[in-house]
Structure 1
Amino acid sequence: MKKEDKIIHSSLIETKLMDERLSPYATKNSECIKVKHTLKPSTEFDIRWPFEKDIDRVLYSKSYSRYVDKTQALSFFSNIHITKRSLHVQWVSRIARQIGRGLNLNLDLIEAIALGHDLGHAPYGHVGEKAINDCLEERHFGYFTHNANSVRNLLFIERNGVGYNVSLQVLDGILCHNGEILSRIYKPDRQKTIQQFWQEYEKCWHEKDYSKRILPMTLEGCVVRISDVISYVGKDIEDAIKVGIINEDDLPEEVVRVLGKDNKSMINRLIGDIVIHSYRKPYLEFSPEVYAALEVLFDFISTHIHHHPTLVKENEKLTRLVKELYNAFYEDLLDDKDEDHGIDRHVFKMIETYKETPPEMIVSDYLSGMTDSYALRVYEDRFLPKQHGEMIQDD
């Protein structure tokens, strides 16, 4: 037996032993499924576990690097300590891995889903997401959701349209991670196939609110889904207190009594509760007491933070900004007389098949890939007058 063959054989044995140590409800490394065919020789040795490769694909993607300039909920505050999207995904990953370790699940799969779950977020978070969705609806094209767009980024946008060969289980966890929906019990859809995944992905683009009705195929995907919630509830509270939107004393008494009044206490209680009540079960479950308190907190955050008058007023401006950019880019794309627009350069660098993409989707790709500050800079250059000195200078 050749040296390379011995290494591969040893790796397969080690994979089998690793899988045997996991919970019977965990996703095994040997179950990793790819959604793309690849020309890469299957005998090529790689020291990484299957889902570790997906972690690296996410980490080294351009979409991941743009996390650093995308805010989470409070887009227009200049405080450096307000949560950025880059910190949010790391916190989701940390919380999810803690839960996964307590339940003996596949930590590599959890980390890959967690780090990649927001790759497709538009500038200005959910405000930008809704604005792009409105633009697609107005053109009778479909609907925009950041979870489906995250999958699209990994498969069809990265590497100039070549994409990455990410595993089905990771893509599915990203597609189904919706942190806006709260449940006491999270059960995976274990019978899901590649065909069903593709159907769900397409329906997210073409059926209103469809992304809220799908479930992850793995227990690890369920862990990331609830970790997304756990990560932001306490941090949104802290951020809102920091900028003066609410006071600590505003928190409902039943929340403080059960979950505590700061981010650390809330995370500890929520993680501990779900691990204890989900141990050796094929699903995740909160205790009735903790879930009731979490529901109250969920509603409090929505009412007193996300729909605070100051945020509503400023978010209306951000909505107009994103919509005006979308409309301008759409006109640029259809302008045959000038092919030097930014969106034209975006299309030019992509693989040939990308040029067949509908214009509505191309504009969505281009705009959703922008960071907060870049979108603002492009908007100012396009729509606001320039400041000149004593004379008009030619560009």
Structure 2
Amino acid sequence: MALRQPLAPYACDAMRSRGRLHPVSPSPTRSEFQRDRDRIIHSTAFRRLAHKTQVFVPLDGDHFRTRLTHTIEVGQIARALARALRVDEDLAEAVALAHDLGHTPFGHAGEDALEACMKPFGGFDHNAQALRVVTLLERRYADYDGLDLTWETLEGIVKHNGPLAGPKATRKLPRFVAEFDAAYPLELATFASVEAQAAAQADDIAYIGHDIDDGLRAGLFLLEDIAAAVPFIASLLQQIGEKHPGLERGRVIHELVRRVITRFVEDAIATALGRLDRLAPTSAADVRAAGEAMVALSPAMAEAERDIKKFLFANMYRHQKVKAVWERARDAISRLFPAFFETPSLMPPEWAAQALAREGAARAVVVADYIAGMTDRYALGEAKRLFGA
């Protein structure tokens, strides 16, 4: 049994955290990053992930991934990466568990619909929404809104995919992130910690693995189809066939998914260790100031990742069975938003009161917060209540 090694000098140190917006007394039993993880797990938004779509609407079957099972898988892989890289596992897991808290019902179909509704009012971004959830929308404490997470966890939630400002920015800076950063700077022009980068890489690895699994089990494509399109998958299936001739299809799928995840994890670890050795950061600050990400895939595995994503996009996410459900989901969100915006009293009293006290973009944000927090089942129930469909 491998013993846990001391943290590397470039790891985030929970004893030297930059703290919280609302300081609390130290815990005698948990580090600050462990407290963050626990606060996220006990949040309402985290529980709702059990009834939010990953790719398949949960009502379609009990064995497909939900947003919650995806999140748990990301957390497990993030911890594995963090352990191998000798950084704080609890911080990596906290970022992983929080990374999807801002997702709408019905997965990316719901997000696309809400983004279209919010376009005249500043847009919608699920990462920015996750920040809203943990800093504003969760109301569990007597003295403040939000979960009051540490600076390092908030940074990871916002920047796990890369800088949001400066020449290295990976995407447009959402308005709420900019407003929050003005009050509580998160160094948006820098990379996030190794722990947050591990969570981001774990997200990609997890969804590649489980989407192959779900797509095969749903019958959207065959093993032969993905093998023909992705040489990396073909080589793994050949290895499985040579070692286990005549193995039943269900076990072949399990073997394939396990090997896909293992190969990606091992490659990410080896590539990250190589970059860390080359750049030799001596602190978490050095990691943030580096001109590149520390946690990444090798060129060969990055190509395999692109091949898999291209195949899944064409044969799973754009499959007619999936598109038909997503189109109905988009329709539901597209009808709910204007109904609530024009008649806030259709929402529960606490939400209606907030919306009625505001106009224009401010009201639209309240409606978006309400819809984004819905589970798939609740959104379907609201659509049926209001439109009879």
1:273 aligned onto 2:267: yes
Aligned to 2:146: 163
The question of 1:148 aligning with 2:128 is answered yes
> What is the aligned partner in structure 2 of residue 336 from structure 1?
none
**1:106: which partner in 2?**
88
Taking structure 2 as the reference length, the TM-score comes to: 0.78
Task: Find the aligned partners of 1:216 and 1:125 in 2 and give their Cα distance.
Answer: 27
Note the 1:216-295 alignment, pairs <5 A.
216-251=191-226, 252-257=229-234, 262-279=256-273, 281-282=275-276, 283-295=294-306
Which structure has the bigger radius of gyration? 1
Which residue is 1:67 aligned to? 49
- 2-side partners of 1:86 and 1:258: how far apart? 31
- 1:5-154 equivalence runs, <5 A: 21-38=6-23, 40=24, 42=25, 45-75=27-57, 78-137=60-119, 140-154=120-134
Structure 2: gaps of 5 or more residues = 180-187, 238-252, 277-293
How big is each residue's C-alpha offset from its partner over 1:7-53, in whole Å with a ceiling of 9 and x where there is no partner?
Answer: xxxxxxxxxxxxx9211221111332235134x4x4x5432101011
User: Shift of the alpha carbon at 1:201?
Assistant: 5.3
Given that 1:172 and 1:217 are in contact with CA atoms closer than 8 Å, whether structure 2 keeps it comes out as yes
- Residues 147 and 177 of structure 1 are in contact (CA less than 8 Å); yes or no, is this contact kept in structure 2? no
Contact kept, 8 Å, 2:53 with 2:66, in 1: the verdict is: yes
Paired residues of 2:135 and 2:146 also in contact (CA < 8 A): yes
Aligned counterpart, 2:379: 375
How many pairs align? 333
1:316 aligns with 327
TM-score with structure 1 length normalisation? Answer: 0.77
Partner Cα distance (2:27, 2:272) in 1? 37
How far apart are residue 278 of structure 1 and its match?
Answer: 1.7
In structure 1, stretches of 5+ residues that fail to align are 1-19, 179-187, 207-212, 334-338, 386-395
Indicate the SS of the match to 1:159. coil
With over 3 angstroms needed to count, the CA separation of the structure-2 counterparts of 1:292 and 1:347, relative to structure 1, is same
State the Cα distance separating 1:215 from its structure 2 match: 6.5
Shift of 1:202: 2.9
Identity %: 28
Change (3 A) 1:214 1:89: farther
- Determine the C-alpha separation between the residues in 2 that align with 1:375 and 1:49: 37
CA distance in 2, matches of 1:67, 1:237: 21
Give 1:293's aligned amino acid.
Answer: A
Q: Distance in 1 between matches of 2:189 and 2:216?
A: 34
Q: Report the 3-state secondary structure (helix = DSSP H, G, I; strand = E; otherwise coil) of the residue aligned with 2:210.
A: helix
User: Conserved in 1, the CA contact under 8 Å of 2:99 and 2:127?
Assistant: yes
2:286 is aligned to none
1:296 and 2:307 aligned: yes
Question: Residue in 2 aligned with 1:390?
Answer: none
Q: Name 1:391's counterpart in structure 2.
A: none
In the TM superposition, residue 271 of structure 1 has moved relative to its aligned partner by 0.5
Q: 1:258-277, CA deviations, whole angstroms, 9 ceiling, x for partnerless residues? A: 56572111100000111122
- Shifted more, 297-306 versus 69-78: the winner is 69-78
Are the aligned partners of 1:99 and 1:271 in contact in 2 as well (CA < 8 Å)?
A: yes
| Residue identity matched to 1:120 | G
Q: Which amino acid aligns with 1:384?
A: G
Give the CA deviation at 1:104. Answer: 0.7
Once the 2 structures are TM-superposed, how far is the Cα of residue 99 of structure 1 from its aligned partner?
Answer: 0.9
Amino acid of the structure 2 residue aligned with 1:284: V
Secondary structure in 1 aligned to 2:233?
Answer: helix
Do the aligned residues in 1 keep the contact of 2:58 with 2:66 (CA within 8 Å)?
no
User: 8 Å contact 1:347–1:355 — kept in the other structure?
Assistant: no
The match for 2:349 among 334, 344, 347 is 344
